Structure 1
Amino acid sequence: MKPRHDHRSEDCRAISALLQRVGDKWTVLVVTTLGKGPMRFSELRYAIGGISQKMLTTTLRSLERDGFATRTVFPTIPPRVDYELTNLGRELLVPVTALSEWARANTERINKARARFDATVK
């Protein structure tokens, strides 16, 4: 008899959704950049490079929604807005940094493997 409620499939969906959010290119870059400390939007965009204003805004909002980053508005003229990792965001920084370092260390090996594979598939 098949169980009515499969907790494993719920876990898989939850994990998949979370990995989709935190594993995308821009999230990884924003989290690692904010790992250096609080930054203004323009500083963050400049430090990342290649990210559009819209994509940075979307990524920051998602990070805020998920509890990984905070947005602080300072009542100055013009208003100043800083973004910063929360405690949860700093915890996320650990595996994200490890994955980034692993990717850097293994890029050449991966490129060689791809070249070998592509040469056999022609």
Structure 2
Amino acid sequence: MPSHLHNIPALKENRRKLRSNLTPAEAALWKILQRSQLDGRKFRRQHSVGPYILDFYCPSEMLAIELDGAHHFTDAGTENDQERTSFLENLNIKVLRFENKEVFEQTEGVLEEIRRNFKKQM
């Protein structure tokens, strides 16, 4: 994948703001994903690919994790998510989506789904 699509400078300030203002669900999942705690996989938070800033991205697995709040369940939100997913899948990035409440109510299920999408065993 072309490296010029990752963390383009024009989005740097926006990425920084998002990292400083994680949603409660993002903060909870980040505590589990940071420092390669999940099966040794390194995740980045608020990593951009092209024009999109991903909630979490695992470069070695080419795996994006998006946490969806209420605005994602509107017609416009659904359409934007479909465009984002298509863009990323065209770059061979797998996208997993979870509702914010799943992070709190079904944490182990969320982690198991993430693990199921790891291509490589470490």
Structure 1 length as normaliser, TM-score?
Answer: 0.27
Bigger proportion of residues as helix:
1
Please state which structure has a larger fraction of its residues in strand.
2
| TM-score normalized by the length of structure 2 | 0.27
